[in-house]
Amino acid sequence: MKRNGSRGCVTRKTRFGSRERDWLKGDTQRGCVCLYGGTVDPQPQASGPQASSTPQTDLQLVLCSTSTTVEELCAQRDGQGLYVQLHGDLVRRMDSSERPLQMVYDYLAAIGYKDPVRVQQEAANSDLSCLIRFYSERPVNADRQERTLLKGVFSVRKGKSQLHKWAERQVILCGTCLIVASVKDSLTGKMHILPLVGGKVEEVKRRQHCLMFSSAGSQAHTYFVNFDTLADYQRWHRQASKVVSQTVSLVDLSCYSLEAMPEYLLYSQDITHLNLRHNFMSLEGPGGLLNLPRFSQLKSLNLSNNRLGVFPECVCDIFTLTELNVSCNSLQTIPAQIGNLQSLQILSLDGNHLCSLPEELGGMSQLNSLGLSFNNFSNIPAVLERLSAVDKLSMAGNRMESLELCTLAKMSHLKNIDLRLNGLRWVKSGSLEAVSQVTQLDIRDNRLDSLDLSSVCNLETLHCQRNQLGTLTLSGFTLRILHASNNRLTTVNIYPVPNQLTHMDLSQNLLEYLPDWVCDSRKIEMLDVSHNLLSELPSRLINSLSLRKLLAGNNRLQRVPVLLDHVPLEALDLQHNKLSELSESLFYKALNLKYLNLSANALENIPPSSQSEESLSTLQELYLTRNNLNENCGAVLVGHKNLRVLHIAYNHLLSFPASKLSKLEQLEELNLSGNKLKTIPSTVSSCKRLHTLIAHSNHINVFPEILNLPEIKLVDLSCNELTEIQLPDSLPATLQELDLTGNSSLMLGHKTLNLFSHITTLKLDQKSTATTGDSVSVSTPWNHGYSEMSGQRNKLCVSVLAVDRFRDSVEACYGIFDGDRNEEVPRLLQCTTGDVLCEELQHSSVDNVYMCNTFLTSHRKLGMAGQKLGASALLCYIHREPSDPGGFFSLTVANVGTCQAVLCRDGRPIPLSKIYSLENCTEEMERVKRSKAIITEDNKVSGVTCCSRLLGCSYLSPWVLPKPWVHTTPLCAQDEFLILGNRALFERVSYQEAVCTVQAVRDPRAAAKKLCSIAQSYGCKDNIAAVVISLQISEDSCTCEPPISNSELRGPLPVPVPVSATTGPNDPATLSSSSGVVSEFSSETSASEVGSEAGSTASDEHPSSGPTSRSERRCSLHPATTLCGIMVPGSAVAGPHVGQFQQQQPTSATFSSNKSDNGLDSDDEAPLEGVISNGSKLEVEVDIHCCAFQLRSGAPESPKDLRFEKQGINYPNGKMRRQNSVVVSATNGCLLAVCGREIADLKKSPSTSSLFGKKLSNGSVVAPEDSHNIIEVALEAPKKKSGYFTAPAQQDPEDQLIVPPSLEQEVREQLRGQGPLVSGPSLPSSKLCLKDPVWDNPHPPAFASNLVSGPGPVPILQHEVYDTAL
């Protein structure tokens, strides 16, 4: 299959005729099934609509309905059967009664589609094959077949003696054995079996392509096999080497889509471990499960995830089994014959529909581990009382509402019990009988409001987090580990004192004081009491001789007790308290202290590191962000010579002592942001290990001497007052990111930009050349800033989307995509989501519909990348309600996963998103449990993700879905700003603190930077992303202004400015020349640039010379009636000037044609992408692209009412697929053809590379101006020839131009690129053509060859567009 860029992303069999299309439109329960890997009969069927075609082997389209069965389809095409593949995973044979089209419809409904018409459209989309695909025959996977079975006829010699002769024999490598037939071409007669486990496979150097196979043991046998080709030799050598290296006779056939075992596997009688997990094993047949008892030495058998439906009773005849796994097979009952397995020790029955166990199970005397998790048990089965050897019971995810401790007392053998996720409401102790055998109990994620386990006298480990506990009573005789976070505890009662307790987590509770027994515990090493209501810490606790880690952040502490003696404390977290001072003895009494976090307090100074000049401090990480420290703290910090990480952001530092900084030679990460520094001392060059310097939001005007450091990786000096940069001759190869945005006076020349060319991520501001009088851009009542930080990760797995002017109107679109551990999916989502939303808005104006469809379509467009990888996604769309175009704005928010949006209204935070994680969403947890997913102890679905809704990760369907939460709220004047952030941000920063943080900073970019910086200082190690959108929603924000006459813009030199050009009814449609009139150029804006960008808009007509040629500037609250950047004719234009265009902004920039020798404007040294200047003329790279629009109102009155304009309807802000690249010259008004290779060569040239900007390492949208407003191109995604990026893609739209007949021939020649020059007057005024549904237009014309002439008006059609492979 082919990816984007090819018209033949799938091989079509035919295009349907009118009869077939009419039949499809007659009922939404009709559609087509795409069958891969088969052939089609060229003769159409006599009855019913059928697609005729020519035979091909890739794809065939079969018309059917939702009631059509597999049997009927096979009979129709003389096939043997059909196979289905979900999410690119396993392939299974379909039952004859299954209905393929209904299966597709059910799948689409399950992920979130509701409208039957839309379901019909999506079912015919070729991209859907990455989610569900049908095959007419079983696809062959050579790699899997090789690992399952190798077979061939080769020259074989038995034994090492030269007396034996070579002979042609059938040789098979299957399982653990080498099988050699005694007859050349058949397997009849005697079979020679050579066990290979523990044996040898060696190369025979005397013969070419020859291997020697030897078995293990003193009676070892040897066979020599001579292969015909090098490929066969390598294949057999590789597979045999794996077998001989095993220590046990293990055969792993998991995830092979097997319906039966290879027949030759039965010759491997030495197999002891057989893994058949994730297949579709059947009972009958030569390799069916009924043959399993033939393995006489089998000890371990895994049959999980095989869709068995019933327990295979034949397994009960394998008396040697010690381990059996039949999880996730939809089993309803267990047969009584299970009691025959007297040697069984481990039995896993998880993920089924069991509600009882047979009594015969009680006779299995050696069974010691029983897995019953995620079934339908309402109580602990009574048969467990007889299973005296069982010490571990797993019953998580069942339906137990109460637990009787007296029941556990009867099961004297149970030691480890897992009752997570059961909905437990009560734990009752009906008698005084002690439960002495239980040592480990897990009851987290239930609904308990109180818990008394004092009768469980030998309890060692208790997990009870995420309940609703108000009180907790335990026995302390043997207690070692206690996890009780995320409850409502006000006290914890443990008696006697738990002297064996080493680890205790009481965070996220309501504790106002710590009980005395905490201080009396002699062995406690780790104590987490963060996020409570503590006002003080006991002195005995902080002076404990066993405590090594104390986390007491987010409390109400006002002081820290004095350390009386040396303590072994290694980590101390006291952030978010009310500390104003620290004990003077802190550092020289806690000599082992390596981590100290004091952020978000009121400290004005810090204690000295020692009492003398010589310091013994071992402190390595120190976080002092958001205190009241001044520059005097530098003298104290110098004593911590082992310091590696220092965060002292957002304090009151006016300077940092140069002599002190030079002594921190071990420093690796330094954050000085948010202070009042004017310079960073030159002695920073002494910190040879420094790899990260963050000093944004200061007053720094001199670039620090850090580019000579050998290990420097990241430098953030944004939001400062830099004016110039003094650079060395070369930059360190380690430098990966440099952020210089927000330095308004910084000017960079060509030499500097070329020196920065190797930096992976370079962030610079664009310097606009337009003056105030030239700018006619419509302002928006919002602007934004964003920040991304990779933390301690080596890659950035989060991407940001921000478009301040969405769809070329007063709308906005913002988003965050967090891939957790992968960077591919966030990049792809950032490239496509804005486009998809723009397209969906044409089909529906209902918020829940277009947002939901945007997420589902983006999910589909991920292709193969979305099969195994996924991402949380948040999308915000600011718009006016369609019912009230002149009213106030509304904000529509949609999200999946853990990215969140918070609106500040009257200074209060209003959460607008829903957190789709299993821990935070009870209804999602119940849904996932009902679908029998396995949820691990860390609350992750199948151990993969904690989110129940994501874009991507389709292989986890139906547990993880892409359907979003959608919410719309009207905006008002009290709305100050909007904050978007990923999980890492809001895990560390509360909603209220985030709001207060942004309120204190006026600049949105600086506010976003601050949010990320403080989250890092609070302990976040993951990727962090934040977007801050400042809102000015009020009637007072009107920016209307009267029209400006064209004469005001005339000057001695032609200056192209972004104005709306119109043409009178009698004016010829010509290109503007250099006669002094203003012109408009429409160009594509590159999204992969950081340092600079430039855009313009192109007009194919002369602007009229009248004073109304410049359109009236409208404000955000009183806009002209527009749609998708096109001003609807007659809506805001009087007189003859119809068909007026609205300027695309803000990615457009204006340039003066008076250029200096180096091609840059004299007022701006910043390079502009796409602008190629050669002295006297200015060339702007644009493209001609015909797009399809659907207009809902304002039909044109004449063909001249609509003019062809280069618009990005499917790509917001004008980002489009490149069709025909041209260069528009501002001097002679001609079109010059430029091939793509020449443009690529320009970008590769060192002298011009800076003209084309810089790419971001993670593909995030980074605007060179205050608001980044472009969408990242797909080239930012990793370029792979196989794997995730080989999915079949949606086809490019096929375009159609309608031109006057008199100009048809000239346009043909121009688009074909036949003529080198096309004169201005000969360019036609191209009309806008609406794209018909594919089923209505089976043979669309080619873009450059089939031009349909039509002098009449363009029809306005209201058809849905079917984006299919038909």
| Residue 346, beta-bridge partner list | 323, 369
**Distance (Å) of CA 509 to CA 469, 488, 489, 494, 1078:** 9, 5, 5, 17, 68
Sign, CA torsion 1163/1164/1165/1169:
negative
Number of Cβ within 10 Å of residue 1043's Cβ equals 13
Q: Please tell me which of 279-293, 475-489, 750-764, 1211-1225 the model is most confident about, judged by mean pLDDT.
A: 475-489
> Cα(345)–Cα(301) distance, rounded to whole angstroms?
12
Q: Is the pLDDT of residue 1085 over 50?
A: no
What average pLDDT does the segment 306-326 reach? 95
Quick one: pLDDT at residue 835?
Answer: 94
> Cα(1302)–Cα(804) distance, rounded to whole angstroms?
42
- Structure tokens belonging to residue 621: 């990480």
Quick one: pLDDT at residue 15?
Answer: 57
Quick one: pLDDT at residue 777?
Answer: 53
Sign, CA torsion 838/839/840/841:
positive
Quick one: pLDDT at residue 610?
Answer: 84
What percentage of the chain has pLDDT greater than the value 70? 71
pLDDT digits (tens, 9 = 90+) for 224-235: 999 989 999 999
pLDDT digits (tens, 9 = 90+) for 487-518: 999 999 999 999 999 999 999 999 999 999 99
Per-residue pLDDT band at 771 (split at 50, 70, 90): very low
What average pLDDT does the segment 15-22 reach? 76
Contact 864, 1286 (CB under 8 A): yes
> Cα(380)–Cα(383) distance, rounded to whole angstroms?
9
Per-residue pLDDT band at 768 (split at 50, 70, 90): low
> Cα(439)–Cα(695) distance, rounded to whole angstroms?
52
Contact 851, 890 (CB under 8 A): no
Report which of 244, 255, 216 is spatially closest to residue 89, judged by C-alpha positions: 255
Q: Work out the angle at residue 914's Cα, subtended by the Cα atoms of residues 912 and 915, and round it to the nearest 5 degrees.
A: 135
**Of 545 and 1161, more confident:** 545
Three-class secondary structure assignment of 335-387: CHHHHHCCCCCEEECCCCCCCCCCHHHHHCCCCCEEECCCCCCCCCCHHHHCC
pLDDT digits (tens, 9 = 90+) for 1030-1039: 999 875 444 3
Quick one: pLDDT at residue 1281?
Answer: 35
Quick one: pLDDT at residue 565?
Answer: 87
Quick one: pLDDT at residue 588?
Answer: 87
**Of 647 and 749, more confident:** 647
Quick one: pLDDT at residue 193?
Answer: 87
Which letter, b or e, does each residue of 591-628 get, where b requires 16 or more Cβ atoms within 10 Å of its Cβ? bebbbbbbbbbebeebebbeeeeebebbbbbbbbbbbe
Q: Which of 154-163, 645-654, 746-755, 925-934 has the lowest mean pLDDT?
A: 154-163
Report which of 920, 915, 911, 910 is spatially closest to residue 964, judged by C-alpha positions: 915
Average pLDDT, the chain: 77
Sign, CA torsion 485/491/492/497:
positive
Quick one: pLDDT at residue 1099?
Answer: 35
What average pLDDT does the segment 1002-1023 reach? 95
Q: Is the pLDDT of residue 1187 over 70?
A: no
Q: Which amino acid is at 362?
A: G
pLDDT digits (tens, 9 = 90+) for 439-471: 999 999 999 999 999 999 999 999 999 999 999
Q: Is the pLDDT of residue 322 over 90?
A: yes
Contact 904, 975 (CB under 8 A): yes
Quick one: pLDDT at residue 1336?
Answer: 40
Residues sharing a CB contact under 8 Å with residue 923, sequence separation 6 or more, in sequence order: none
pLDDT digits (tens, 9 = 90+) for 1327-1340: 333 333 334 433 33
What average pLDDT does the segment 1083-1106 reach? 36
> Cα(163)–Cα(165) distance, rounded to whole angstroms?
6
Contact 1330, 1357 (CB under 8 A): yes
Per-residue pLDDT band at 766 (split at 50, 70, 90): confident
- Global pTM value: 0.75
Q: Which amino acid is at 154?
A: F
**Distance (Å) of CA 1271 to CA 829, 1149, 1268:** 10, 17, 9
Quick one: pLDDT at residue 672?
Answer: 95
Per-residue pLDDT band at 884 (split at 50, 70, 90): confident
What average pLDDT does the segment 354-368 reach? 93
What average pLDDT does the segment 850-860 reach? 96
What average pLDDT does the segment 849-865 reach? 95
Quick one: pLDDT at residue 1303?
Answer: 61
Q: Which amino acid is at 302?
A: N
What average pLDDT does the segment 196-218 reach? 88
Q: Which of 72-76, 431-435, 774-778, 1106-1110 has the lowest mean pLDDT?
A: 1106-1110
Quick one: pLDDT at residue 143?
Answer: 64
Quick one: pLDDT at residue 146?
Answer: 66
Q: Is the pLDDT of residue 834 over 70?
A: yes
Per-residue pLDDT band at 629 (split at 50, 70, 90): very high
What average pLDDT does the segment 754-777 reach? 69
What average pLDDT does the segment 1214-1225 reach? 34
**Of 489 and 8, more confident:** 489
Decide: residue 20, CB within 10 A, 0-12 exposed, 13-18 middle, 19+ buried.
Answer: buried
> Cα(326)–Cα(329) distance, rounded to whole angstroms?
7
| Residue 895, beta-bridge partner list | 874, 965
Q: Is the pLDDT of residue 1097 over 90?
A: no
**Of 725 and 855, more confident:** 855
Which letter, b or e, does each residue of 487-524 get, where b requires 16 or more Cβ atoms within 10 Å of its Cβ? bebbebebeebbebbbbbbbbbbebeebeebbbbbeeb
Q: Which amino acid is at 157?
A: R
Q: Which of 187-196, 314-323, 763-772 has the lowest mean pLDDT?
A: 763-772
Q: Which amino acid is at 301?
A: L
> Cα(192)–Cα(181) distance, rounded to whole angstroms?
6
What percentage of the chain has pLDDT greater than the value 90? 52
Q: Is the pLDDT of residue 951 over 60?
A: yes
Q: Which of 241-255, 744-758, 1084-1098 has the lowest mean pLDDT?
A: 1084-1098
Helix (H) or strand (E) holding 636: helix 633-637
Quick one: pLDDT at residue 778?
Answer: 64
pLDDT digits (tens, 9 = 90+) for 665-723: 999 999 999 999 999 999 999 999 999 999 999 999 999 989 889 999 999 999 999 99
> Cα(808)–Cα(793) distance, rounded to whole angstroms?
37
Quick one: pLDDT at residue 1055?
Answer: 32
Quick one: pLDDT at residue 948?
Answer: 95
pLDDT digits (tens, 9 = 90+) for 1118-1166: 444 333 333 333 333 333 333 333 333 333 333 333 333 333 333 333 4
Q: Quickly list DSSP for 394-443.
A: E-TTS---EEEHHHHHH-TT--EEE-TTS---EEE--SS----S--EEE-
Number of Cβ within 10 Å of residue 138's Cβ equals 15
> Parallel, antiparallel, or unpaired for β 737-739 and 761-763?
parallel
For 264, which DSSP code? Answer: G
**Of 32 and 1354, more confident:** 32
- Structure tokens belonging to residue 604: 């004005």
pLDDT digits (tens, 9 = 90+) for 908-933: 999 999 999 999 899 999 999 999 99
Helix (H) or strand (E) holding 1312: helix 1304-1312
Quick one: pLDDT at residue 794?
Answer: 79
Quick one: pLDDT at residue 1302?
Answer: 59
> Parallel, antiparallel, or unpaired for β 870-880 and 951-952?
antiparallel
Per-residue pLDDT band at 1306 (split at 50, 70, 90): low
Residues sharing a CB contact under 8 Å with residue 1304, sequence separation 6 or more, in sequence order: 1347, 1349
- Mapped onto helix, strand or coil, the DSSP state of residue 1292 is coil
- Mapped onto helix, strand or coil, the DSSP state of residue 234 is helix
Q: Strands, DSSP E only, in 1205-1345?
A: 1220-1225, 1231-1233, 1298-1299
Quick one: pLDDT at residue 38?
Answer: 47
Per-residue pLDDT band at 1246 (split at 50, 70, 90): very low
Q: Is the pLDDT of residue 653 over 70?
A: yes
What average pLDDT does the segment 1250-1260 reach? 37
> Cα(1361)–Cα(853) distance, rounded to whole angstroms?
14
